[in-house]
Amino acid sequence: MPATVAIAFQPRKTPVQSRSEATVEAILQATLQVLVSVGKEKLTTTLVAQRAGVSVGTLYQYFPNKSALLQATLRRHMDHVIAAVEDTCKSECNRSIFDQATALIDTYLDAKLNDVNNSASLYAIATDVDGMRIARNVGNRAHRSTTALFSTATERLTCEPELITTMVLCCITGVTRRLLEDKPTQKLLPAIREQLLNMVHAYLKTCTR
């Protein structure tokens, strides 16, 4: 990424006190609310500041422009997703790989689709705020954690855990990406989860003895 573009996305300063952290959290939450409400094109720093209950000057203390604000909001969402995935990978060690995969799918779907409108709105702006780089970093973390998880599976694996991770994560992320594009109703999500589980479990049967 060119240096000038990278600078445009960088926050002005990092909050170091609890009050500053609360202010930033309020600003990022307001950004998401405004984004869902009016869309990227109509979102302004003034609208976000009003929704957050802070002055525009306060907002600019932390975020130099709209792009930096949107990128920070996307990063906050992705950090939430990967933190949930990593927690699951730590807690599901030494279990059946089928149980591990089920827990991983449930965690990922809950983190990404608990509020479809929020996730879909963030997905729609990703290409404008260097979202590919953020997604790549998060994806690398998910791959490492999931590989470590599958390495502890109680079954004897006939494939390398790293390869199994690649296939399983491709299934999960591919399905969720399409869902964010289509914005399905909440009532369809249980059926989608069941079908995704069926697909992943069928694959895992070919990788175990």
pLDDT for 38-74, tens place per residue?
999 999 999 999 999 999 999 999 999 999 999 999 9
Q: Of the candidates 28, 45, 64, which is a domain's last residue? A: 64
Is the pLDDT at 3 greater than 50, yes or no? no
Q: pTM (2 decimals)?
A: 0.86
What's the structural domain count of the chain? 2
Contact assessment for residue 33 and residue 77, using Cβ atoms and an 8 Å cutoff: no
Distance CA 2, CA 166 (A): 30
- Looking at the fold, whether 91 and 109 belong to one and the same domain comes out as yes
Distance CA 140, CA 66 (A): 27
- Looking at the fold, whether 59 and 90 belong to one and the same domain comes out as no
HSE (side-chain half, CA atoms, 13 Å) at 36: 15
- Looking at the fold, whether 143 and 200 belong to one and the same domain comes out as yes
DSSP lists the bridge partners of residue 157 as: 208
Note the pLDDT tens digit of each residue in 128-151.
888 889 999 999 999 999 999 999
pLDDT, greater one: 4 or 153 = 153
- Looking at the fold, whether 116 and 31 belong to one and the same domain comes out as no
